[in-house]
Amino acid sequence: MDIRQQQHVNERDYVLFPWSVQSKVNPINIVKGEGIYFWDDKGNRYMDFASQLVNLNIGFNHPKVIKAIKEQAEKLCYIAPSFGNEARAKLAKKIVEITPSNISKCFFTTSGADANENAIKIARFFTGKQKIIARYRSYHGATFGAISVSGDPRRFAAEPALNGIIRVLDPYCYRCPFDKEYPQCHIECAEHVREIIQFENPDSIAAMIIEPITGSNGIFIPPVEYMKRIREICDEYGILLIADEVMTGFGRTGEWFGVNLYGIEPDIMTMAKGCNSGYVPLGIVAVSSKIAEYFEDKMLYCGLTYSGHPLACAAALATIEAYEEEGIIENARAMGNLLTEYLKKIKMNHICVGDVRNAGLFGCIELVKDRKTKEPLCPWNGSSAIMDRIKEELWNEGLYLYIRWNYIFLAPPLIINQQQLEEGMKLVDEKLHMVD
Ligand code: PLP
């Protein structure tokens, strides 16, 4: 072997790391993963309470999915998207079967961000209108169009971004932007959307994009009436509803999709992450039959070299089979119910906990300085030394989770069992004493 290949490569010398000040990057080399655990090159084992980036729903190295990828690679590694592709055909049929009944066709992309990019384009072509409504506390991806419709501060660096984005306030019940309480609020946050639509001219608005449950901005679980009202308002003004199911899809909330919790049918659904647990990059834009029919005699000006990549589609088919055969979504629901109980106890045990919330295995602990005033432990878009220390101590004890601002997220792989969930939650409980 060439001696140069044997030398350890310092990745920092060659790689630009995402979302990082490069000089501060000090990556831990991960060499192995299995189930809900992964190992670094020093042999330390970590339990994954974040499913990496909330994508690894079936855990690391699921044998069925690895086998499907290998078999597909031996048959056909790549084919241009204009050709027929059996893996893509079967996957599209499966997606249509598991999504709401109005959904009839899929366009394939390579990530959640470009699924949202294409959803925006499709909404504009279909409606002939341009503006997009999005919420402030939302994230839809890092590419130009997707970051433009995100309200998340990650957009700041890319601004001024796309024109025609209208932002509205969020259904964040713990910190209601209208200072009201559910149910006496009469869902003012949805009525606010109606008002903004009127101010902006409904005839200029193509779509509203929402995460059915907000993910990386703090797990906001809107009341059912909110989602139903938003659906009605969109219908009233001829505005398409795009449900970004990139995080909420594929069992994360204990249902196949976030919209299933609300009984609504979006016009467009975008998916990625859990569709194949991220084993091979894949994104999906699923559209209603009305939209699909529209493109029967019109050009769909969308396409990517890797659209419907056979390896990614084969991985997704096998992943969906695993969800079905192994009762993974049922497990997510059962473990989600347990998570609710653990979270209630955590709220009782710690005065630093302002709110806890979860839908299935999509949960969050919100930390405050003072329960009465609800002053956050650290500001929106800010950091705090104590949150960093909690994260570090948990990491040192072998628990990996996602902490952002004053939120501790709980999103383990959907295959987690009761004992593992309890072990992780006990560690979180212990560390919160550092804040009380
Ligand atoms: N939409 C949501 C709701 C997300 O949480 C994310 C990523 O975290 C994206 C879109 C972007 O997905 P990707 O990183 O695959 O482009």
Atom of ligand 1 nearest to the CA of 281: 15
pLDDT value at residue 34: 98
Distance 294 CA to ligand 1 centre (A): 27
Q: Are residues 339 and 277 in the same domain?
A: no
Q: Which of 325, 347, 373 is the last residue of a domain?
A: 325
Q: Are residues 288 and 139 in the same domain?
A: yes
pLDDT value at residue 35: 98
Whether residue 171 is preceded by a cis peptide bond, meaning omega within 30 degrees of 0, is: no
Q: Does ligand 1 have an atom closer than 6 angstroms to the CB of 264? A: no
Whole-angstrom distance, CA of residue 19 vs CA of residue 402: 14
Q: Are residues 172 and 283 in the same domain?
A: yes
| Torsion angle of C-alpha atoms 183, 184, 186, 192, degrees rounded to 10 | -110
Please compute the mean of the pLDDT values over residues 316-320 and round it to a whole number: 98
φ, ψ dihedrals at 369, nearest 5°:
-80, -30
pLDDT value at residue 3: 52
pLDDT value at residue 9: 87
Whole-angstrom distance between the N-terminal and C-terminal Cα of the chain?
Answer: 56
Atom of ligand 1 nearest to the CA of 53: 8
Q: Are residues 402 and 320 in the same domain?
A: no
Q: Which residue has the least CA distance to atom 13 on ligand 1? A: 112
Whole-angstrom distance, CA of residue 436 vs CA of residue 350: 6
Q: Are residues 320 and 339 in the same domain?
A: no
pLDDT value at residue 92: 98
Asked if 133 and 196 count as a contact pair (C-beta separation under 8 A), the reply is yes
Q: Which residues contact 197 (CB under 8 A, 6 or more apart)?
A: 133, 205, 233, 237, 239
Q: What average pLDDT is seen over the chain? A: 96
Strand, coil or helix: what is 9?
Answer: coil
Q: Are residues 229 and 267 in the same domain?
A: yes
Counting ligand 1 atoms within 8 A of each CB, the residue from 247, 271, 275, 304 with the most, and so the one to mutate, is 247
Q: Which residues contact 204 (CB under 8 A, 6 or more apart)?
A: 129, 130, 131, 164
Q: Give the pLDDT band (50/70/90) at residue 6.
A: low
Counting ligand 1 atoms within 8 A of each CB, the residue from 140, 217, 402 with the most, and so the one to mutate, is 140
Instruction: Give the angle 327-331-335 at the CA atoms, nearest 5°.
Output: 180
Q: Does ligand 1 have an atom closer than 6 angstroms to the CB of 274? A: no
Asked if 141 and 18 count as a contact pair (C-beta separation under 8 A), the reply is no
φ, ψ dihedrals at 123, nearest 5°:
-60, -40
Say yes or no to pLDDT of 362 above 70.
yes
Say yes or no to pLDDT of 5 above 90.
no
How many folded domains does the chain comprise? 2
Question: Using one digit for the tens of pLDDT, what is the confidence trace for 140-160?
Answer: 999 999 999 999 999 999 999
Query: Which amino acid, 39?
Result: W
Distance 26 CA to ligand 1 centre (A): 24
Say yes or no to pLDDT of 341 above 80.
yes
Question: Using one digit for the tens of pLDDT, what is the confidence trace for 87-116?
Answer: 999 999 999 999 999 999 999 999 999 999
pLDDT value at residue 2: 58
Whole-angstrom distance, CA of residue 63 vs CA of residue 319: 10
pLDDT value at residue 161: 86
Whole-angstrom distance, CA of residue 48 vs CA of residue 402: 10
pLDDT value at residue 228: 98
Whole-angstrom distance, CA of residue 56 vs CA of residue 61: 10
Question: Using one digit for the tens of pLDDT, what is the confidence trace for 193-203?
Answer: 999 999 999 99
pLDDT value at residue 8: 78
Whole-angstrom distance, CA of residue 177 vs CA of residue 26: 39
Please compute the mean of the pLDDT values over residues 53-77 and round it to a whole number: 98
Q: Are residues 84 and 23 in the same domain?
A: no
Q: Does ligand 1 have an atom closer than 6 angstroms to the CB of 358? A: no
Q: Are residues 15 and 143 in the same domain?
A: no
Q: Are residues 198 and 335 in the same domain?
A: no
Which CATH number does the domain housing residue 249 bear?
3.40.640.10
Q: Are residues 381 and 286 in the same domain?
A: no
Q: Which of 325, 353, 374 is the last residue of a domain?
A: 325
Atom of ligand 1 nearest to the CA of 248: 3
Q: Give the pLDDT band (50/70/90) at residue 243.
A: very high
Q: Are residues 395 and 274 in the same domain?
A: no
Q: Does ligand 1 have an atom closer than 6 angstroms to the CB of 140? A: yes
Which CATH number does the domain housing residue 337 bear?
3.90.1150.10
Say yes or no to pLDDT of 294 above 80.
yes
Say yes or no to pLDDT of 174 above 70.
yes
Atom of ligand 1 nearest to the CA of 283: 15
Please compute the mean of the pLDDT values over residues 312-341 and round it to a whole number: 98
Please compute the mean of the pLDDT values over residues 333-353 and round it to a whole number: 98
Say yes or no to pLDDT of 4 above 80.
no
Say yes or no to pLDDT of 7 above 70.
no
Q: Does ligand 1 have an atom closer than 6 angstroms to the CB of 217? A: no
Structural domain for 379, as ranges: 3-61+328-432
Please compute the mean of the pLDDT values over residues 3-30 and round it to a whole number: 87
Query: Which amino acid, 263?
Result: G
Please compute the mean of the pLDDT values over residues 310-328 and round it to a whole number: 98
Q: Are residues 295 and 373 in the same domain?
A: no
Q: Is the CA virtual torsion 47, 49, 54, 58 positive or negative?
A: positive
Q: Which of 266, 299, 325 is the last residue of a domain?
A: 325
